[in-house]
Homo-oligomer: A and B are copies of this chain.
Amino acid sequence: MTLQKVLIAGEWRASDLTKTFRAENPSTKEALPDEYPVSSWADCDAALHSAATAADAMRSLSGEQIASFLEAYSDRIEARKDDLVEMAHAETALPKAPRLGDVELPRTSSQLRQAAAAARDGSWANATIDTKAGIRSCLAPIGPVCVFGPNNFPFAFGSISGGDFAAAIAAGNPVIAKANSSHPGTTRIFAEEALVAAQATGMPCGIVQMIYRTGHEDGERLVSDRRTGAVGYTGSRHAGLTLKAAADAVGKPIYLELSSINPVVILPSVLAERGDALAEEFAGSCLMGTGQFCTNPGLVLLIRGERTESFVNAVAEKFASAPVGTLLSQSVEKTLGNNLTALQKAGAENLTPDATANGKGYCHANTLLRVSGSAFLKDPEAFQAEAFGNASLLVIADDCDQVRAIADSLEGNLTGCIYSASSGEDDAAYDEIAPRLRMRVGRLLNDKMPTGVAVSPAMNHGGPFPATGHPGFTAVGIPASLVRFAMLQCYDNVRPHRLPVNLRDANPTGKTWRMIDGNWTQGDISS
């Protein structure tokens, strides 16, 4: 049993700790060998001090230099793939393939490369020049970014490897990563590689730092410290809202990804066209990764009828017979059980009462619940509790109007889907429901489950509260996700040689898109 060190100010050092913890293997419920420190405020303070110094130094780095770090790190991640996959598998029970090694790791390294390209290109900074008024502005680094990663994507959303990390660094900021307590070893391996890549590419020593855990008060103090620029958080609603209150009170931007049940509407005529295929598609999407996706379809809205009954039965059979996956942790198992009990207490019927939790380690039976639209509308809040894991709630509405009313009653979600017939027979219902659902979700899909989240410049992995804390930003997609970690800086009558390079007359790269006098261009300003 080794007590692991924290990464602060460019070195692995003994933590100033208050206590220690160990991670568990969710498949065996056994503690893993390493011991990890819970940092005191002294660790946080030291990290903030180093990050503030790094933030100053990073302001004079070019996009090319930052890109070279991100690319070197991406290379090192790929080279360390076997260690990462082994450790993450042990800590999360997520399958090595298909998932950790062949899906999530390539996504992670590719995301870092896309972030590198955005840093090199510089267009993300939205340089805007008014030559007549002598006013020029751009987005610029906001300062040290604290990243809190979730339990469910140890690589692609990891605090020192994932989307928030890539975006914060590409925008020119140092990162203080708070490891997720369920996979500290995975986070440590990433931190090792990040440090070596940073040293090899001449980055300031505080560009990447990592601690494992803090007390709650120190977490709040960290996000609201004067030296902190912004925060990225993905995780539980309760912890997220506590950090949000602390950051909001001092005007620190905090970007949250909290909970989302991702409503899916399946209209009658598409059930007629391909109900069996949809049952297969839905069950597959819902049970994939033991349902532990931010965009897992946790709420399905259907209109009552024979075909709906057939669909419901088909899905229930699939749920009951599908293998049961392992959950990420004891806490996920417990919360899932509690939330499913609460949904049933509120009036939902369990359609899979005989299903067994025949998985390895922490697990819960695949669970399909059902409630009527009228019952849902009597207590919409109760039926929107997120049951994170291999479960979903079917809502059987009386008619299209009721689906519309349910859509109006929804909280904010990351995604919303509508399946409709290719014949056009569902189009009237679509036109009634889509505008309501649209206002409740960040991404509206047609005829497709929401579980895939492409790293596209047009992606929105965001949405109205409480899916996130602000509906104007996305956590996935480059360069859009970078703007979260930036402040708007305007230069008024500033002498030309004192302007940042991206606001000077000559285009800094020959390729940077800039808005000059009302037109987007990659050109120079002709004098």
Q: Which residues of A contact B (CB under 8 A)?
A: 56, 59, 128-130, 133, 135-137, 139, 142-143, 244-245, 248-253, 412, 415, 430, 434-435, 438-439, 442-448, 450, 454, 456-460, 462, 464-466, 468-474, 480, 483-484, 486-495, 498, 513, 515, 518-520
Contacts and interface: CB of A to CB of B under 8 A. Distances in A.
B480 A128 contact: yes
A471 B128 contact: no
A253 B490 contact: no
Contact of A459 (B137, B473, B480): B137
Given A143-B439, A434-B498, A470-B251, A488 B465 contact: no
25 contacts: A56-B435, A130-B459, A133-B454, A133-B458, A135-B454, A135-B458, A137-B460, A142-B471, A245-B249, A248-B248, A251-B468, A442-B488, A444-B489, A444-B490, A444-B491, A445-B493, A445-B494, A448-B492, A457-B518, A460-B490, A472-B483, A472-B486, A473-B488, A480-B488, A513-B520
A387 B251 CA distance: 22
Contact of A456 (B130, B415, B465): B130
A232 to B, nearest CB: 14
Given A130-B458, A458-B129, A494-B444, A248 B244 contact: yes
Contacts of A459: 130, 135, 137, 490
Contact of A472 (B130, B253, B443): B253
Contact of A490 (B442, B465, B466, B513): B442
A124 to B, nearest CB: 11
A136 B446 contact: no
A513 B515 CA distance: 10
A333 to B, nearest CB: 29
Contacts of A251: 412, 464-466, 468-470
A415 to B, nearest CB: 8
Given A456-B135, A465-B250, A442 B493 contact: no
A494 B447 CA distance: 8
Given A253-B472, A480-B488, 6 more contacts: A142-B471, A251-B465, A442-B488, A443-B490, A460-B490, A464-B487
Contacts of A252: 465
A184 to B, nearest CB: 30
A519 B518 CA distance: 16
B444 A492 contact: yes
Contacts of A458: 128-130, 133, 135-137, 490
Given A457-B128, A457-B130, A487 B513 contact: no
Contact of A474 (B445, B488, B492, B498): B488
Nearest to A450: B492
Nearest to A141: B439
A472 B457 contact: no
B443 A492 contact: yes
Contacts of A462: 488
A498 B447 CA distance: 13
Contacts of A250: 465
B435 A498 contact: no
B248 A456 contact: no
Contacts of A515: 457
A59 B136 CA distance: 33
A289 to B, nearest CB: 19
A495 B444 CA distance: 11
Contacts of A498: 430, 434, 446
A391 to B, nearest CB: 24
Contacts of A471: 142, 253, 487-488
A242 B90 CA distance: 47
